[in-house]
Amino acid sequence: MYRLHCFAQSGNCYKVALMLNLSGITWEPVFVDYFNGETRSVPYRAKINEMGEAPVLEKGGERHTQSGIILHRLARESGHFAPQGDRQEEDCWRWILFDNHKFTSYLATYRFLRTFAKGTDPGVLAFLKARAEAAFTVADKHLADRPFMLGARPTIADISMAGYVYFSPDETGFDFATAYPAIEAWRNRLKELPGWRHPYDLMPGHPLPRT
């Protein structure tokens, strides 16, 4: 049995939860109370993840961190959504790194500061928004002539990049359906895969308590 330390608002946690669900792997969520500081606590860093982050995947007494590495491990163990051959594996990691540094990174940070934080400098938001849009433009162009990031079949590159794209435009500040048609079509193709569920239906912690 896999246990995933996660919370519903985290797209990085969602990447792993989605991979588990799409692969038909039995797992259970362990709620991480991120918004009340659990990941920053001494016990969490000492016992769960020294980096103070989620997701953390547990199985058989071992813990694994960093979503890209977890996706790679699950693909290798399950045979699902793995790249095929050395060249495709390199291309897969090229897009996962692009996702971690740009696509997810700017989208996630912009969403958090815009929606969950208070009093963020408008100049900071404008910078992050522009950087996210630049990353979206790259992905939209790439997906214009192929169904998935590496071609005809979905891989962990797609699952990694899907981490934050299903949160609503009201929450993210971006409307893929209007501005990025190839990303929108790709999002819908992933939604058709057996086992797909929205992050708020897949992980605990939604909605946040009113403050």
For the question of whether the overall pTM of this predicted structure is more than 0.95, the answer is yes
Q: Do residues 49 and 122 both lie within one domain?
A: no
**What number is the average pLDDT over the span 59-82?**
97
Q: Do residues 89 and 156 both lie within one domain?
A: yes
Q: Would you give the distance in Å from CA 210 to the centre of its chain?
A: 25
Task: Tell me how far apart the alpha carbons of residues 182 and 147 are, in angstroms, rounded to a whole number.
Answer: 9
Cα angle for residues 5, 10, 12 (degrees, 5° grid):
80
Q: Does position 51 have pLDDT exceeding 80, yes or no? A: yes
Task: Tell me how far apart the alpha carbons of residues 96 and 83 are, in angstroms, rounded to a whole number.
Answer: 12
Q: Do residues 93 and 47 both lie within one domain?
A: no
Tens-place pLDDT, residues 142-175: 999 999 999 999 999 999 999 999 999 999 999 9
Cβ contacts of residue 63 below 8 Å, gap of 6+? 48, 49, 56, 57
The CA-based diameter of the chain, rounded to the nearest angstrom, is 50
Look at residues 89, 36, 32, 91 and name the one whose alpha carbon lies nearest to residue 65. Answer: 32
Look at residues 116, 2, 4 and name the one whose alpha carbon lies nearest to residue 56. Answer: 4
Q: Do residues 44 and 133 both lie within one domain?
A: no
Q: Which domain holds residue 21?
A: 2-80+197-202
**What number is the average pLDDT over the span 133-139?**
98
Q: Do residues 177 and 92 both lie within one domain?
A: yes
Q: Does position 211 have pLDDT exceeding 90, yes or no? A: no
Tens-place pLDDT, residues 7-32: 999 999 999 999 999 999 999 999 99
Q: Do residues 182 and 89 both lie within one domain?
A: yes
> How confident is the prediction for the chain on average, in pLDDT?
97
Task: Tell me how far apart the alpha carbons of residues 170 and 167 are, in angstroms, rounded to a whole number.
Answer: 8
Q: Do residues 89 and 187 both lie within one domain?
A: yes
DSSP 66: S
pLDDT band at 196 (very low <50, low <70, confident <90, very high): very high
Q: Do residues 184 and 111 both lie within one domain?
A: yes
Q: Do residues 76 and 106 both lie within one domain?
A: no
Q: What is the CATH number of the domain that holds 58?
A: 3.40.30.10
Tens-place pLDDT, residues 26-38: 999 999 999 999 9
Q: Do residues 130 and 42 both lie within one domain?
A: no
CB atoms within 10 A of CB 121: 9
**What number is the average pLDDT over the span 44-55?**
98
Confirm whether 92 is domain-assigned: yes
Q: Extract the tokens encoding 194.
A: 């057996």
**What number is the average pLDDT over the span 176-193?**
98
